[in-house]
Structure 1
Amino acid sequence: MHDTVPPHDADMNKLRKGPISIAFGLERIGLIAVKAPILSCVILLALVIGAIFGIQRIKIDDSLSQLFRSDSKEYKQYEEVTKRFPSTEFDVLVVLEGKTLLARDNLGKMRDLVTDLQLVDGVRGLISIFSARQTPAPGKLPAALFPNDLPEGADYDKFIETVKQNELIRGKLLSDDGTLALVVLSLDPAVVSNNKLSTVVADIRKTMNDDLANSGLTKELSGVPVMQLEIRNAVERDGLIYNIAGILAGCVIAIVFFRKISFMIIAAFPPLLAILLSLGALGWAGFSLNMFLNVMTPLIMVISFADSMQLTFAARDRLIAGEDKYSAFTNAVRVVGPACVLTHGTAGISFLALQFSDSDLIRAFGEAGLTATIIALVAVLSLVPVFGVLLVRNEKIFAAKFQTADAGVQALRAFCYWIAVRMVGRPGLFSLISLVVVVGLGIVYANLEPRYRLADQVPDKEQAVAASGRLDAKLTGANPIDVLIEFPKGADLYSPDTLATIAEVHAMVEKQAGVGNVWSLETLRRWLAEKAGSTDVATLKEYVSVIPEHLVRRFISADQTAVVVSGRVPDSDSSKILPVVDKLDNALNAVRTKHPGYEIAVTGLSAIAARNSAGMIEKLNHGLTIEFGLVAVFIGLAFRSWVVMLACILPGIFPVVLAGFVLWLLGEGLQFASVVALTVSFGLGLSATIHFLNRLRLEDTPGTDPAIAVERATVLVGPALILTTVVLACGLVVTVFSDLPSLRLFGWLSAFSMVAALVADLFILRPTAMWLINLQQRLTGSSVLAKQEK
């Protein structure tokens, strides 16, 4: 094997007289702090204290609609509906189920439960089977369907059959087979938006458990507030897990290979401090923690740890070669620093690519990622040499010890050398194989279909998803879909034209396959007409006036200029719901034509998700495709080399298309989490490519055999790349412990992409670079990878 460590004086000569800077001198940021290490630590302490206060300012955004938050007309319309008809955003769904649900004793317990739930602080009203009414006598208000004293024996059985056939609750609040009942609790909006929600939900659970003890009924909660609370709890819990796991992974692997606590601190602490400083900055900047920003911790670890390890390895090699600690760490910054700047630059482009999204959430994630990238770059470049100068002691003793006892690193170098020799032996063949593989995987990736389900954004190990599943099975669905009807100026709620419009829209929604549990003002009109024989407007007005305010606001706006016809759909993939939404919207054209002036729009979270998710995912994916070209050009311009530009394309694309192939095998399709993971992983995965190419440009001098240059560059950067990939994969894969399906997908896919990036670096980049250098030599007569300074 060739010398594993080149003469470091030669390194510096190469920097002074060889290839021109790829970072335009920005790496020298890292040399400022090391000139006054004690003062730098004092400033760092002040920044850490400020960051701690900043982290405390971070709030959690648990809105289920956050992915689709944008300036689009559809989302603005959806927001308007939730403000004017504050129902589904604030409804807790109590799902009660059991074969003995309508047994006399259990019915009594359920009535006690409904009574007690109304007394829970924060509940402003509820709807249940006990809200149903009997057929009214002429001129009188109807009595409750359930009498104070329930009948017994055969009379009770007859009564239950009457209950099951009641039009107001059958298929809406009670399943057809009488084994599932739904209680809808309307919470005060102020409760849902603050920390009182957890207390209110806990009180609801306690009341359920107390009142239904020994009933044999299953009892679960669902609804938007419960899902929000479960998301909030999962985000807080996951953040703690990611921080601890990331710290442990970095520290353990660093101490195993460096075998000195000081070097573990030098390698692992700058990334950890970068996390702290970045999160603090995001807190002060007003960012909210959500299902994407929650992965910012492992991402910062990914961005910064790779460069921290490269700098530490380079300085360690110099110390072993006999340099003093100040020279070792400052020279490491000069040699490795340019690649660090470039890796952060490519990561920054990855985050900028997210600005192509229509989602405010994803764009905010991109902005936060770009901010964190800049902070991580400054932190790593500055803190590694500062900690190195302060913590390294007795350089000569250290050098003597590790010159003869560095088995772990030497083993990795031997492995890297073994691979490099084989890759440069037949570069043309391996380059052709790589091209065929990447093109083949790319074809599979291009055929991935967008996928979105609301349940993927909610913890699937809690009650809400399970309860929603039961509603999907027994009551046509848990997810609301609304048709907003806005009246023309001057139109009255009770005018014949308005009531006819509402009736026709209600009928259209009922007929639409896939939509059930339809409610509107028309529901009350039909009931009055059928049971009371009354069709006059005066009676309708009288009934509306005596209904509790929170029930009226579900369907009629406060100013009586708009109404909503509300139905429910199952939580299916958006590709299945979109045809339902489109078909309904098209069917409503007949009503729009018949009643001009009435604005009729299909909205609701399910409709917004169905319409927008596929387009948003495809746009993100197109942004990733554009990113491939932008990053390749960016790296090529930085190195001033078309060889470098072409060399980084295949290894950069390989992790993305391989991950896409795995998604295809699993039948996953492209989700928001997977596209964001691939977008970010592409930029981060290029870290290995850039560090290798940076080392190769120093080794590839005039008169040097390109094969030897490739081998030496591989031996020098390979061990750090392997260790970094292991740490980063461990740091990302901890997300598999999340209760959020989208975060689990993001985590394992990112970790897989990191490992795939290492494979591409070792088995695709080496032969491709070698073949392109040989091609350049045949075309121009020059075998030097990068442009040299004169």
Structure 2
Amino acid sequence: MTAGFGLERLGLWSLRHTRVMAVLAVILTLLSGWAASKLEFQSNIREIFKSNAADYAVLEDMIAHFPATEHDVIAVVEGDLFRPDTLEDLRTLHLELVLLDDVDAVTSVFSAYRPPNENGDLAALIPADLSPLDEAGFDHLRRDLLAHPLVTDKLLAKDGRLALFVVSLAPGVTALEAVRAKVDEIRGLGTETLTGTGATVRYTGMPQIRLTIVDALQRDQKIFRIVGFFIGIFLTWLFFRRLSYVIVVAVPVLTAIVWQLGAMWLLGQSVNIITAVVPTLVMVLSFSDGLHMMFAAARNRENGMSVRDAVEASVIDVGPAAALTSLTTTLALLSLAVVPHPYIAGFGLAGAIGATIAFFGVIFLFPLLAVAVLNRVDGTTAAFEHGWIGHLSVRLSRQAAAISIGHPGTVTVVAAVLTAICAGLYLANPTYYDYRSNLPVKSDALIGVSRIDATLAGSGTMAVYLTMPEGQDALAPESLSLIAEAQKVLAADPMIGTTWSLQDVVDWYESGQRPTGSAAAFLAENREHLARRVIGADGRSALVTGYFPNSDAAALLPVIERLENGLDTLRAAHPDATIRLTGFDLVAARASTAMIRQLNYSLIGAVVVIILLIGVALRSRAATLLSILPNVLPIAFGGAFLYLSDFGLQFTSVIAFTISFGIAVDSTIHMFNRHRLMRAETSDPIMALSRTVTTLGPVLIISTVVLVLGLGTTVTSLLPNVRLYGYVSVLVLMAAFFANILLLPALLTLHARWRMRREQSR
């Protein structure tokens, strides 16, 4: 059995059955292309933290009872708002929004009413006729609005220059295109109504966030695939200087991408923030395997072999290493599939299938295309040696061999010290998550959130979700008392800027001329409207919401602990009621911390299993031990970068470590495989090692450049999380290249010298 467990024989089968393989490939590609056209985009950031955890179940239950929180489009209007003409235009906007189809409610400063008079009549805070108001009158109106519990710190900034219009879409408007159509309609009204007022308007809220993420993903997909693919083609041509070689390498790459996208649809997956990089991953893996195969075939042609014999020999020599590298990358990605979060597990599965497809695409199609295309062209010279990139890569490989083999002890000590320092910095990284990192920096959605954080109580929310005892209505006096106590717990925390609950409605109503206790009838009459925000449709549940400036997970965890401690006292006093702290920010803070810890465990597991697998496949305990340092160093280096750049450990970066490790270990395997072949040609282990580095070095250089630039396209993403993935991947792959071209040969040299001394002493 070979190091590739015999999987390279698939390439030999393809070589012997070219017509059958060609027909199968065409059929599979057409079917996959059809399936790929049906792939959808996933934009709900709540899905990132979906799990079987109790926190997520509570959040889902709360959203089911209070769905408005998921369907709010928030228009953030800024400017000199307290001018007669501007206020009139804003009133018009409010009324026009109310009249839109599929809009359940609109909440703004025009929703604010004065407390009732003695007859229970209500009057709007902003009068219908603004003409009698002078500058002092408008200033007084602004102060009245800021004193209103619905408005203060929620809908109007203290300086009166920013106001929110909260447009609640009907719960049935969930399909992405329906959401887009409705948001576009809202945007159109805003533009039409406010043009000429000097006011600016931006849109945020969950529906707008969904659209922003999908638009960014669609843009990224085009750039990653097109730019990455043409970078790979250009570098392949630059290295080989033959169009025929480029065709042989590129066609399996393109085919594998189509197969992978079709497989995603077949498995019921969608394109989201992290699965968006899977096609790019398949592309660079296919390019890497294809380059190794093509390099070996070109060398064989240079040695005088026929095209068929050269291709067959390349499959036999390089195929086992390609199979093993595919297996190690697949295992690294499968380690993510055991994380108890469907979002991450789904990505791990998609990536593992993609890595497998990348191998099958090359092992089946490379022999077929190589024989078909190369038989039609003349020449046996290794063209890469005559171009400047060929000369440069050969020269660099020889220098690397001279350094690593000439000074193995120094290289090893420096690498070990560097690994220790970087590992310490990796472990010092704090965990970090902020949902804003899912949004483009210059997007309306993010700017709107940032303006709310800067001028109002904040865009973050934490809610106390109350369910009254069986048979007790949420409007009962006992319920109102419990709601008031829960609100005090929230309001007492210094992180919470302001709160909102049914108690605020009671306080507002009874601050007028109606007698104390008269609010109950008003609440009963307006139950349906209140059910949108503070009372559940079941009649027994109530929501107390606290607002705070958006913060990362590390800052929120102490807040959550303080609030839970405060609510424990309330739970003890009201054992029959169900009192739960919830909200997306809470779930994200707790889940992201746990997720990063689980991802670190899966990364450690992947490293251990894959390094052991290398030893098993190569039947060498030495290979296992010698693989450790060259593959731990790149991960530690990436962790040090995160620490020094203040990114911290995010789930995206740990995923990038896992993927990059799975790819980086490929170079280790190819180095061992080439060393095995060279050892068969010479009895001098040092000479064999020198030939290994100088022969394999050029293709390692060009394949690393393809990997770095291919995955490097992700740094052009509009989404910060995807960009971070790109930064980490590029750094880890570059560090892995130097570890495999310098450190691994140094370790092999030390091991060879130790074995020679041991044999001489016998």
TM-score by length of 2: 0.96
Question: 2-side partners of 1:174 and 1:767: how far apart?
Answer: 66
SS of residue in 1 equivalent to 2:202: strand
Q: Which residue of 2 aligns with 1:398?
A: 379
The unaligned stretches of length 5 or more in structure 1 are 1-19, 784-790
| 2:407 is the alignment partner of 1:426 | yes
Cα contact 2:115–2:513 (8 A) shared by 1: yes
| 2:330 is the alignment partner of 1:351 | no
Q: Which residue of 1 aligns with 2:734?
A: 755
Question: 1-side partners of 2:531 and 2:475: how far apart?
Answer: 14
What do residues 544-597 of structure 1 show as CA deviations (whole Å, max 9, x unaligned)? Answer: 4236x4542322111112111112222211111121121111111111111111
Query: Which of 638, 643, 664 is matched with 1:685 structurally?
Result: 664
Cα contact 1:67–1:361 (8 A) shared by 2: yes
Write the mapping of 1:269-308 to structure 2, written as runs, cut at 5 A: 269-308=251-290
What do residues 654-679 of structure 1 show as CA deviations (whole Å, max 9, x unaligned)? Answer: 11111111111111111111111011
SS of residue in 2 equivalent to 1:398: coil
Write the mapping of 1:35-74 to structure 2, written as runs, cut at 5 A: 35-74=16-55
Question: 2-side partners of 1:678 and 1:214: how far apart?
Answer: 51
Q: Which residue of 1 aligns with 2:469?
A: 488
Q: Which residue of 1 aligns with 2:345?
A: 363
Q: Which residue of 2 aligns with 1:9?
A: none
Q: How far 1:162 sits from its partner (Å)?
A: 2.5
Question: 1-side partners of 2:24 and 2:108: how far apart?
Answer: 61
Q: Which residue of 1 aligns with 2:221?
A: 239
Cα contact 1:243–1:298 (8 A) shared by 2: yes
Q: 1:782 to 1:261 in 2, by over 3 A?
A: farther
| 2:121 is the alignment partner of 1:126 | no
1:323 partner letter: M
2:311 partner letter: F
Question: 2-side partners of 1:505 and 1:597: how far apart?
Answer: 15
Write the mapping of 1:115-514 to structure 2, written as runs, cut at 5 A: 115-150=95-130, 151-153=132-134, 154-393=136-375, 397-399=378-380, 402=383, 405=386, 408-514=389-495
Question: 2-side partners of 1:198 and 1:222: how far apart?
Answer: 13
Query: Which of 558, 575, 583 is matched with 1:604 structurally?
Result: 583
> Aligned residues: percent identity?
33
The number of residue pairs the alignment matches comes to 760
Question: 1-side partners of 2:379 and 2:681: how far apart?
Answer: 35
| 2:530 is the alignment partner of 1:530 | no
Q: 1:334 to 1:523 in 2, by over 3 A?
A: same
Q: 1:410 to 1:539 in 2, by over 3 A?
A: closer
Query: Which of 625, 647, 654 is matched with 2:604 structurally?
Result: 625
Question: 2-side partners of 1:648 and 1:22: how far apart?
Answer: 15
Cα contact 1:88–1:480 (8 A) shared by 2: no
SS of residue in 2 equivalent to 1:531: coil
Cα contact 2:397–2:694 (8 A) shared by 1: yes
Cα contact 2:73–2:168 (8 A) shared by 1: yes
Q: How far 1:197 sits from its partner (Å)?
A: 1.4
Moved more, 427-436 or 407-416: 407-416
Question: 2-side partners of 1:25 and 1:159: how far apart?
Answer: 81
Question: 2-side partners of 1:403 and 1:465: how far apart?
Answer: 48
SS of residue in 2 equivalent to 1:342: helix
Q: Which residue of 1 aligns with 2:686?
A: 707
Cα contact 1:320–1:403 (8 A) shared by 2: no
Q: Which residue of 2 aligns with 1:639?
A: 618
What do residues 130-152 of structure 1 show as CA deviations (whole Å, max 9, x unaligned)? Answer: 11111212242312222221232
SS of residue in 1 equivalent to 2:122: coil
Q: 1:768 to 1:588 in 2, by over 3 A?
A: same
Question: 2-side partners of 1:364 and 1:403: how far apart?
Answer: 40
Q: How far 1:692 sits from its partner (Å)?
A: 0.9
1:427 partner letter: P
Question: 1-side partners of 2:267 and 2:78: how far apart?
Answer: 47
SS of residue in 2 equivalent to 1:79: helix
Q: How far 1:190 sits from its partner (Å)?
A: 2.6
Question: 1-side partners of 2:328 and 2:605: how far apart?
Answer: 13
Q: How far 1:780 sits from its partner (Å)?
A: 6.7
Q: 1:762 to 1:746 in 2, by over 3 A?
A: same
Question: 2-side partners of 1:189 and 1:331: how far apart?
Answer: 62
Write the mapping of 1:2-41 to structure 2, written as runs, cut at 5 A: 21-41=2-22
What do residues 145-176 of structure 1 show as CA deviations (whole Å, max 9, x unaligned)? Answer: 22221232254443343233323312221122
1:290 partner letter: N
Write the mapping of 1:584-595 to structure 2, written as runs, cut at 5 A: 584-595=563-574
Cα contact 2:554–2:589 (8 A) shared by 1: yes
Q: How far 1:524 sits from its partner (Å)?
A: 0.9
| 2:649 is the alignment partner of 1:670 | yes
Q: Which residue of 1 aligns with 2:84?
A: 104
Q: 1:266 to 1:550 in 2, by over 3 A?
A: farther
Moved more, 408-417 or 227-236: 408-417
Write the mapping of 1:73-92 to structure 2, written as runs, cut at 5 A: 73-92=54-73
SS of residue in 2 equivalent to 1:198: helix
Q: How far 1:418 sits from its partner (Å)?
A: 2.4
Write the mapping of 1:549-560 to structure 2, written as runs, cut at 5 A: 549=528, 551-560=530-539
SS of residue in 2 equivalent to 1:95: strand
Q: 1:534 to 1:354 in 2, by over 3 A?
A: farther
Cα contact 2:119–2:514 (8 A) shared by 1: no
Q: 1:670 to 1:405 in 2, by over 3 A?
A: closer
Query: Which of 82, 91, 94 is matched with 1:114 structurally?
Result: 94
Cα contact 2:190–2:201 (8 A) shared by 1: yes
Question: 1-side partners of 2:619 and 2:138: how far apart?
Answer: 88
Cα contact 2:337–2:347 (8 A) shared by 1: no
Q: How far 1:724 sits from its partner (Å)?
A: 0.9
Cα contact 2:322–2:359 (8 A) shared by 1: yes
What do residues 252-298 of structure 1 show as CA deviations (whole Å, max 9, x unaligned)? Answer: 11111211111001112212211111111111111011000000111
| 2:711 is the alignment partner of 1:732 | yes
| 2:597 is the alignment partner of 1:615 | no
Cα contact 2:65–2:538 (8 A) shared by 1: no
What do residues 713-739 of structure 1 show as CA deviations (whole Å, max 9, x unaligned)? Answer: 112221111111111111111122211
Q: Which residue of 2 aligns with 1:4?
A: none
Cα contact 1:356–1:620 (8 A) shared by 2: no
Question: 2-side partners of 1:574 and 1:139: how far apart?
Answer: 49
Q: How far 1:111 sits from its partner (Å)?
A: 0.4
What do residues 401-442 of structure 1 show as CA deviations (whole Å, max 9, x unaligned)? Answer: 849956643542232122112211232332222212211211
Q: How far 1:702 sits from its partner (Å)?
A: 8.8
Cα contact 1:123–1:188 (8 A) shared by 2: yes
| 2:721 is the alignment partner of 1:742 | yes
Q: Which residue of 2 aligns with 1:12?
A: none
Over aligned residues, Cα RMSD in angstroms? 2.0
Q: Which residue of 2 aligns with 1:578?
A: 557
Moved more, 232-241 or 577-586: 577-586
Cα contact 1:475–1:517 (8 A) shared by 2: no
Q: 1:366 to 1:585 in 2, by over 3 A?
A: same
What do residues 491-512 of structure 1 show as CA deviations (whole Å, max 9, x unaligned)? Answer: 2223332221111001211222
The unaligned stretches of length 5 or more in structure 2 are none
Cα contact 1:484–1:564 (8 A) shared by 2: yes
Question: 2-side partners of 1:751 and 1:401: how far apart?
Answer: 29
Cα contact 2:506–2:519 (8 A) shared by 1: no
Cα contact 2:385–2:391 (8 A) shared by 1: no
